[in-house]
Structure formats: C-alpha cells, structure tokens
Amino acid sequence: MNAIKSTLFAAMLAGCIAAPATAHDCGGVCTTSFEVYLDVVASCEFTGSTDVAFGSHAVVPGQQLDAYGSLTVRCNVPAAYAISLDGGRHGSVTDRRMASDTGETIAYQLYSGPGGTSPCTAAAGTQWGDASGGCIYRGTYAGTPQDIEVHGRLTIDNPRAGSYSDTVTATITY
C-alpha cells in the first residue's frame, strides 16, 4: 500500500514540476487547465429528387411542352448553398438534349421555379447552368428539408417517334 502511495506522490510531484514556472510551488495542491471545444462542420446533401417527365405526346411541330421535377436538400446546420446542373449526357448547359436509342435528339432547357420565370441569377428565365458559367441556384437551409423546383421546357420541331431521355447531374456546394 505504501508503494502505491509513494508512486502516486511521485506522479503528483512530477506533475507539479512539469507545470509552468508560475505553478512550481504546489503547496500540496496542483492545478492545470484544459480546453473544451467542438468544431461544427456544415454538411448538405440531396435527400431526394423527382424526374422532369414530359410524358407521352402526339406532338405538333412548334408545340411547347413544360414538365416539373424537384431536388430535395437537407443540411445538418443552417448553411448557404449553391446548386449547379451539368449539361447532361447528350449536350451542354446551353444546349441540353434528350437522345433516343437511334441517336435522334430533342433539345430542352432547365430553369428554376415555375414557368421558367424564377431567377437563379439576376436574369429571370436564365437556363440553370453549371458552376463554370451560367445560372446557379442559391439558397439558405433553415432547418427543414427544402424542395427546389426544376422546370423543364422544350419546343418540338419534327421528331421521329421513340423514347428520348437524358441524365443530368446536380451538384450542391456549401
């Protein structure tokens, strides 16, 4: 038992000796300080999406079609974020295209908000672009998941019958 007390006393004495110069005389009681901290890191993610589905149509050349989808965003803390969309698999941000199995294409545009009138930059109706240029949707997460509307619009020329599709990638930056 005395060996344990001697070891404990030696450890306490060593702690006092290793303390800063202002605390070298412990007087039987040694103190030290330590910090308590936490780094809160923001994290935002897409928790869901719905497709922009134009449906099946017997089209008339010059007919304009609109379709709506959405992206659902959730962050762990209040955070500002930006959402960019790429040009899809068959086009570019300024010339998006759906393609059929035979290689035929139909051009379409993507906008934020209903009717293509809600801006994601200062210019209302600007196509939703990628981070390298064009329109970027900006928002602030305030605690509940947010649904951001994606408005698709196309004008039919004279396409061949078939199924047309494209895959667009959305990226969130916070």
**Full DSSP string of the chain:** -HHHHHHHHHHHHHHHHHS-GGG---TT---------------EEEEEEE----------TT-EEEEEEEEEEEESS-EEEEEEE---SSSBTTBEEEE-TTS-EEEEEEEESGGG-S-SSSSTT--B-BTTBSB-EEEEE-SS-EEEEEEEEEE--SPPSS--B----EEEE-
Residues 30, 57, single domain; the answer is no
CA separation, residue 12 to residues 16, 27, 48, 158 (Å):
6, 11, 57, 88
Distance in angstroms (rounded) separating the CA atoms of residues 118 and 125 = 6
Q: In terms of domains, do 59 and 139 share one?
A: yes
Does 130 lie in the same domain as 102?
Answer: yes
Q: What is the per-residue pLDDT for 92?
A: 87
- Tell me, what's the pLDDT at 60? 85
Number of domains within the chain: 2
Domain extent, residue 33, equals 1-37
For residues 29 and 50, membership in a common domain is answered with no
Name residues whose C-beta falls within 8 Å of residue 11's C-beta, 6 or more positions apart in sequence. Answer: none
Q: What is the CATH number of the domain that holds 149?
A: 2.60.40.1090
Q: Is 152 exposed, middle or buried (0-12, 13-18, 19+ CB in 10 A)?
A: buried
pLDDT tops 80 at residue 4: no
Same domain, 133 and 92: yes
The predicted-structure confidence for 87-131, as pLDDT tens digits, reads as follows 899 988 888 999 999 999 999 988 876 555 444 444 445 677 766
Residues 85 and 32 in one domain: no
Q: What digits encode the pLDDT tens for the residues 127-169?
A: 777 666 567 788 888 788 999 889 898 988 888 899 999 999 9
For residues 81-110, one letter each, b for 16 or more C-beta atoms within 10 angstroms of the residue's C-beta and e for the rest, the string is: bebbbbbbebbebeebbbbeeeeebbebbb
168 and 114 in a common domain: yes
Q: Does one domain contain both 140 and 81?
A: yes
Q: What is the pLDDT of residues 80-90, one digit of tens each?
A: 998 989 989 99
> Do 112 and 90 belong to one domain?
yes
Say yes or no: 83 and 117 in one domain: yes
Domain shared by 60 and 115, yes or no: yes
32 phi and psi, to 5 degrees? -150, 170
Residue 9 in this model has a pLDDT that exceeds 50 = no
- pTM, entire model: 0.72
